[in-house]
Structure 1
Amino acid sequence: MLRTLFVVMSLMLIQLTAHADNQADFWQALKEGGKVVLVRHAEIDRSFGDSFLLDESCFSEKNLNELGQKQAKNIGAEFTSREIKIYKVFASPHCRTKDTAELAFGSFTVNPVLRLTKALTAEKANTNIEKTKTLISSHKEMSNLILVTHRPNIGELANIRVEPAEMVLIQPLGDGLFDVITRLKLTESN
């Protein structure tokens, strides 16, 4: 029993250390600049609304819940407190991504290529993913580019399944290429 407890405690310590290292790597790379951050929209109210719909009033769409609003504000607070330089913030036209972008970063521009791929025809989704890859790989500014989008889109781009408000850090390489550096999901204690 004592040995099992020791093994469990050791594994928890390894996980905490890995998270701390991951967080340090994430913020240090952003301080260097020239990166792209893929942000999955924050937590939504799953009991009402349509994930695929675009509704200018936002009434019929899935929208952020209270936790999601806190998550988005927490992202913004971390970027601000760490003085991360931002070139531009683009968001998908869905209300949950626009709200995440606004609560986290203030100003943003809607970019239709970031629209939820599952809401599009396969041909249009593939076109949008290719345009997004070009947008990422061609980022050459010294400050960082933020793209607030959806899990399926990030999965297609980075081959990672992300949670609400999770971020994936990308190094643009040009010529349609980029590397995934790391990922980060902020916790309440960040």
Structure 2
Amino acid sequence: MRFPAFVVFLLLLPGLAWANDWEALDRPGSIAIMRHALAPGTGDPSRFTLGDCSTQRNLDERGRDQARRIGEAFRERGLEFAQVLSSQWCRTRETAELLELGPVSDAPSLNSFFQDFSTRESQTRETLDLIGSTEGRLMLVTHQVNISALAGRGTRSGEVLVIRQTDGNIEVLGSILIDP
């Protein structure tokens, strides 16, 4: 019975190492891009209105706690960010604020295009331009679809990818995941 458990452990080991790659943030040009913390459900209600949190899918208490713990983990390591930028959705904005890593500014290119994929290419290009034109380390808080379009990889709620832009492309350097 121990053998199967050991095999499962070995299969998971690379993912575990990848999921706490704090050193990747020390690499030149690295930035953090995070999927918002836990918010039950998928997408947004049909009556969604930007700026009206009562019409949106929002963080639950587990999500709020997760965001606080992620911010605490960054602060414990002395990691600082030149800017913290967020999608205008309430769940991303609240996540960014609960991180307590600095003042939060809206970045419309980080807004979800889950309901309208026609803006995927233009928003991804705008986000690449934003990354390329900003000096210092960034913390971007956005949505699964945006991260997938930009980095070619999915993320769990609250997961942080460490990325950098090279020759107009995004290179994934690592991942940080603080379990909820």
- Identity in percent: 29
Give the equivalent residue in structure 1 for 2:94: 99
| SS of structure 2 residue aligned to 1:63 | coil
Q: Determine the C-alpha separation between the residues in 2 that align with 1:52 and 1:117.
A: 16
User: Any stretches of 5+ residues in structure 1 without a counterpart?
Assistant: none
RMSD (Å), alpha carbons: 2.5
Q: Could you give the per-residue CA deviations for residues 112-141 of structure 1, whole angstroms, max 9, x where no partner exists?
A: 11110123360x332111111222344542
Q: 1:133 aligns with which of 128, 144, 147?
A: 128
Q: How far 1:145 sits from its partner (Å)?
A: 0.6
The count of residues paired between Structure 1 and Structure 2 equals 179
**Structure 1 length normalisation: TM-score?**
0.82
- Asked if 1:114 is matched to 2:110, the reply is yes
Amino acid at match of 1:153: N
- Asked if 1:167 is matched to 2:160, the reply is yes
| SS of structure 1 residue aligned to 2:83 | strand
**Structure 2 length normalisation: TM-score?**
0.86
| SS of structure 2 residue aligned to 1:59 | helix
- Asked if 1:7 is matched to 2:4, the reply is yes
Q: Determine the C-alpha separation between the residues in 2 that align with 1:74 and 1:97.
A: 15
User: Is the 2:82–2:135 Cα contact (8 Å) retained in structure 1?
Assistant: no
Q: Determine the C-alpha separation between the residues in 2 that align with 1:133 and 1:51.
A: 29
Instruction: Select the structure of larger CA radius of gyration.
Output: 1
Amino acid at match of 2:36: H
| SS of structure 1 residue aligned to 2:156 | coil
Deviates more, 1:159-168 or 1:89-98: 159-168
Give the equivalent residue in structure 2 for 1:38: 33
Q: How far 1:98 sits from its partner (Å)?
A: 0.1
User: Is the 2:34–2:159 Cα contact (8 Å) retained in structure 1?
Assistant: yes
